[in-house]
Amino acid sequence: MKHLCLFFGFLLLVSCNYFDVKKTTSEAILNEELKTFNWSEVDDYPTFDVCNNKSSKEEKKNCFQMTLTKIITSKIQNDTITVSQDIEDTIFMKFQISEKGILTLINVQVDSLTSAEIPNIESLLSNSLDSLPKIYPAIKRGQQVKTAFTLPIIVSVN
């Protein structure tokens, strides 16, 4: 009998943890889910109408970048730029596309020689974005999301 009471006492002490209920809140579940996100990747990149017929994600991304580059370079080529020396430079334009498809120019990295030769280069680049076609924003898990990217523009003036 003594062994039986000792056994039940031991069982009672050990089994107390089985009755504990672990409570999880919606915030805890959300935080765990957010940790599994790959924030640097989206399901669909931003696109223009001309890029919607592309089949793969990479083709759509390349189409978007090429279309944007063509629009910017064609607008800049229409302006008359006079320089005193040859310029071979790569300008890095940092963009952000909102959830509503609005493109915003965040930053322009221009070499000092280029900015000295073409002082209005940033305004030329900014003005080249005025007549862009409709942009469809990036999509992540079925939701339209804000994205940022950097686009290199090669400037060659002789």
Q: What are 67's two structure tokens?
A: 């279309």
Yes or no: say if 51 and 136 are a contact pair by the CB < 8 Å rule. Answer: no
Within-domain flag for 3: no
The count of domains in the chain is 1
Q: What CA–CA distance (Å, rounded) separates 132 from 2?
A: 88
- 26 membership: H or E segment, kind and range: helix 26-36
Range from 65-74, 81-90, 126-135 carrying the lowest mean pLDDT: 81-90
Whether residue 33 is contained in a domain is answered as no
- The predicted pLDDT at position 20 comes to 58
Q: Is residue 117 one of the residues assigned to a domain?
A: yes
- Residue 136 above 60 pLDDT? yes
pLDDT per residue over 3-14, tens digit each? 777 777 776 666
Does some domain include residue 1? Answer: no
Is residue 28 one of the residues assigned to a domain?
no
Q: State the Cα–Cα distance between residues 139 and 92, nearest whole angstrom.
A: 24
Tell me the average pLDDT across 79-90: 77
What percent of the chain is modeled with pLDDT above 70?
85
Q: Residue 106: inside a domain, yes or no?
A: yes
Tell me if 16 is assigned to some domain.
Answer: no
Q: Render the burial of 100-110: b for 16+ CB within 10 Å, e for the rest.
A: ebeeeeeebeb
Residue 143's domain comprises 49-157
CA–CA gap between residue 74 and residue 54 (Å, rounded): 23
The average pLDDT across 87-92 equals 84
Is 59 inside any structural domain? yes
Determine the Cα–Cα distance for residues 39 and 28; give it in Å rounded to an integer: 19
pLDDT-derived band of residue 24, with 50, 70 and 90 as boundaries?
Answer: low
Q: What angle do CA 33, 38, 43 make, to 5 degrees?
A: 105
